Structure 1
Amino acid sequence: MRRRARTLAAEQQQQQQSSDVDQAAPVVGGPALAGRFSRSAALFGGITLLMAGHGLQNTLLGVRAESEGFSSTVAGLVMAMNFAGFLVGAALAPRLLRQVGHVRVFAALASLGSSVTLVQAVFVTPLVWGACRLVWGMCLAALVVVAETWLNELATNRNRGQMIATYMVVTMGSIATGQFLVTTADVNGFTLFAVSSVLVSLALVPMSLSASANPPVVVPEPLSLRAMLQTAPTGVIVAFLVGGALGSISGLGAVYAANRGLTPFEVALFVGAPMIGSLFGQIPLGRLSDSVPRRVVILLAALAAASGCLAMLALDERTVAGLAVMALMGAFAYPIYSMAVAQTNDWLRDEQRASASAVLVRMNGVGALIGPTVAALAMSVTLNAFYLVMAAAHVLIALLVTARIVLVAGPSVDAQGNFLPIPARASAAVAALLRLRR
């Protein structure tokens, strides 16, 4: 009861903040608007630096692992530890925020994350790298929770959708951009590890200087996985499967490309292509899913993504055709999670949506841990397992959605909610944004 009371109080405070800002919005150029704009710029500046450092580190470790002679299986398992850490960090972050506050949590974990990045440059062994990836995943999860909680505070009823869309573009674009920094220095040296560490440390500057208060920590009332599977099984299982597929891209893409003999620049192009493609696929597919039965769009997107994965078996990753297919695959694969969230919300009451989104985040994270692990083990038999595992995940999504379309009538198009593009591992703060907008 006390937890529910705290949650309701936080939600009421958030709604009151949005209402207050909306009432003051007509004062164009006023100090409140200027302050909100400067804090938004600082927030997105910090996210840009953080995610650029994250993207560089992912690609650098994959390329360096191949250079150091790590097997594809060992390198894949090391990279997958990031997702295990992310799950742990996402669970611990709300408690840390309540105990010591947002600024201190962000400062402490950004410093820790920056430090473990340098440790990987000094001790180049699978065991140390695996431990560092686990710690980095924990730090990144908590840092994301801090950033998204401030995003929740800055959003109003007028700009909520725009803020989420901007956050999505900044996140994916920064990760993709950071990957190309791997071409600026020797992957076997210390410099690129230092650059990644500096980027993460610099993210502290705008975030710390712009924070004027600690916004409420959004902790949804628990909703059991069993209840979710009974009410909206499609969204839960799709979130899990697409987590396995996308986790393989971000976790193993650089490892696969390096083992295929691509240069660092070619690795960055290969890993970045699906993320760049995702920026162009989110809105069109989302709007289509608002206009026609949503499950049909998920089915078609899954089939298109699976087809792209299988097509890559016959293409060279160095060619324009190969990169174009990877970009198209990302354009169809990445929006599936956002559509799964929207599909789940179509079956739930308003007060259940924040909790449901938190469940979907966890299921996606579990999939993102299992998918790369399975792919890494299978890549010891054939490198093509990288594509085959992703294709299999999307085929399973298509089969599940087809069965649900045949067996269970979905809501009418008029009864469907609105699509919002959100990152696969967004925190409960973004889930609250989604709920408040409906």
Structure 2
Amino acid sequence: MSALLTLTSLLLSVAFLLVGHGMQLTLLPLRAAVLGHSDLQIALGGSAYFLGFIAGCLLVPRLIARAGHIRSFAVLASAMTSVLLVLGLNDSWVVWSALRFGIGFFICGLYSVIESWLNDQATEDNRGQVLSVYTFLVLISMALGQQLVNASPVASSTPFMVLAAIVALSTIPVSMTRKLAPAPIESTRTRIRLLLSRSPLAVTGALLSGAVTGAFWTLGAVFARRSLENLADVTLFMSAAIIGGALFQYPFGWLSDRVGRQNTMLLLVLLAAGTSASVALAPSTPLLLIAIFFFGATTMPIYSMALATAADNSLRHEFVEVGTSVLLLNALGAVLAPLALGQLMTIGDPSWLFWGCSGLSLFAGLIVLTQRGHKGKVDDVVPFSAAASDMAPTSFDLDPRAPEDAEGDLAPAEELPSVSDSEDDVEEAESEDISPPDDQAPDHEASHPPVFEGEWLPGDPRDRGSS
């Protein structure tokens, strides 16, 4: 509990950011539909968002290493705020797709800052607790953000102004804190070939999770707007799926710890096929809300199950790399599936979105059946840990399944200087004349800077390796 208290400022920023993020995930498809964008054009915008997320996974660590956590968070949140305001002023679907790519990039960067910051403050004893609280906060904040879509008509600019204000507010707690000590993060390699050799089941689960949940986030609000009577029902529809996914993470995780990951994965994909079909067939609003609740309950835990399966069938020191591969495969599925399902909705009717999800889940079920005999190299089977699919690779350092040497127990300190700042300090020190005065005899000890035991000067290169 004491660790969580030291993270209050950061978690408050997370809450603001994710409320805004949840709001934009529903608002943007609805606004695009009002502007007359076709289902395929809306799908292209959603795919561009997930492409931006993938780009962020690969490039953002360099930005954080150069500028530091606090400045990176402020820059990314400010850029995202600006993009959201421009979206409210523009009608072109081409411009929208480009800007949604930017949102995906920025939100991945913000996740990276947050998660590496959390990892710095977590210890071996509380990492699971911190990750659980963080995952719960992500899902609840996103569900709350759905309700803000009702603040004013989607066709007006007001929702975008509200959305931009909420995202901008997220910079205040982080910028004002003095308790946290983030360390620079390194780019994480992906090893998809290793993941495939260790656990084909995890590859299947990651792709299916990305395809189904990516299609839901991209086109679910469009389906709901055409199937329900008013906007309030649309936000209830989206919230019900998120809440279902949040509430059923641990029950399915508990089950997988007892009957095995493969059996639970097979159960999940078959249930996902059934609940997807029930959403497509629901004849009334109450039944549709119930159906989408169970759709979220059976599809959103698939990502966590894929991640747990990958961890069980990999060596412990490989977890960060295979976990990153699971995340990127999940994002790849989210890029591709909306394009196909958006085209189906254009050709047929909105229900084809969930018929497509049902078909994908059944196909994945057949693949899972063929993989039931596969056994990877098991290092250590650990208890299930919940995880949201829209996190950055840095979250795997925080996960209890990460290697032992990824754990840190850092005391609160001030923000470390950026790489460029340190280089400037070194150049300035070298340019100074440190020779002794003429009236003093040269002293061997005085001719060298003192060495401090246990305390390093600001900007010392050793600061970067200490974490």
| TM-score over 0.5 for the pair | yes
Compare CA radii of gyration and give the structure with the larger one: 2
User: Does the 8 Å CA contact 1:242/1:337 hold for their aligned counterparts?
Assistant: yes
Query: Which residue does the alignment assign to 1:328?
Result: 294
SS in 1 for 2:387: coil
Query: Which residue does the alignment assign to 1:18?
Result: none
- The answer as to 2:322 corresponding to 1:356 is yes
Q: How many residues align?
A: 402
- Report deviation, 1:80: 2.5
Query: Which residue does the alignment assign to 2:417?
Result: none
- The answer as to 2:118 corresponding to 1:154 is no
Q: Which protein has the bigger helix share?
A: 1
- Report deviation, 1:388: 1.8
Query: Which residue does the alignment assign to 2:334?
Result: 368
Q: 1:37 to 1:235 in 2, by over 3 A?
A: closer
- Paired residue for 1:401, among 368, 372, 379? 368
- Report deviation, 1:342: 0.7
- Paired residue for 1:390, among 347, 357, 379? 357
- Report deviation, 1:429: 2.2
- Paired residue for 1:120, among 63, 80, 87? 87
User: Does the 8 Å CA contact 1:160/1:437 hold for their aligned counterparts?
Assistant: no
User: Does the 8 Å CA contact 1:248/1:372 hold for their aligned counterparts?
Assistant: yes
Query: Which residue does the alignment assign to 1:425?
Result: 390
- Paired residue for 1:187, among 149, 154, 161? 154
Unaligned 5+ segments in structure 2 are: 405-467
Question: Distance in 2 between the 1:136 and 1:204 partners?
Answer: 16
SS in 1 for 2:7: helix
Question: Distance in 2 between the 1:102 and 1:313 partners?
Answer: 44
Paired residues for 1:295-314 under 5 Å: 295-314=262-281
Unaligned 5+ segments in structure 1 are: 1-24, 26-32
Question: Distance in 1 between the 2:184 and 2:206 partners?
Answer: 24
Question: Distance in 1 between the 2:383 and 2:5 partners?
Answer: 29
- Report deviation, 1:171: 0.7
Question: Distance in 1 between the 2:228 and 2:39 partners?
Answer: 13
Query: Which residue does the alignment assign to 1:175?
Result: 142
- The answer as to 2:25 corresponding to 1:95 is no
Question: Distance in 2 between the 1:396 and 1:154 partners?
Answer: 42
- Paired residue for 2:202, among 235, 246, 249? 235
Q: 1:346 to 1:220 in 2, by over 3 A?
A: farther
User: Does the 8 Å CA contact 1:157/1:437 hold for their aligned counterparts?
Assistant: no
- The answer as to 2:172 corresponding to 1:205 is yes
Query: Which residue does the alignment assign to 1:62?
Result: 29
User: Does the 8 Å CA contact 1:42/1:210 hold for their aligned counterparts?
Assistant: yes
Question: Distance in 2 between the 1:146 and 1:218 partners?
Answer: 9
- Report deviation, 1:437: 7.6
- The answer as to 2:215 corresponding to 1:267 is no
Identical amino acids, percent of aligned pairs: 31
For residues 159-200 of structure 1, the C-alpha deviation after alignment (integer angstroms, 9 at most, x for no partner) is: 211111111111111111101111111211111100100010
User: Does the 8 Å CA contact 1:102/1:214 hold for their aligned counterparts?
Assistant: no
SS in 2 for 1:57: helix
Question: Distance in 2 between the 1:224 and 1:346 partners?
Answer: 16
Q: Which runs of 4+ in 1 moved over 6 A?
A: none
Which stretch has the larger CA shift, 116-125 or 151-160?
A: 151-160
Residue identity opposite 1:374 in structure 2: A
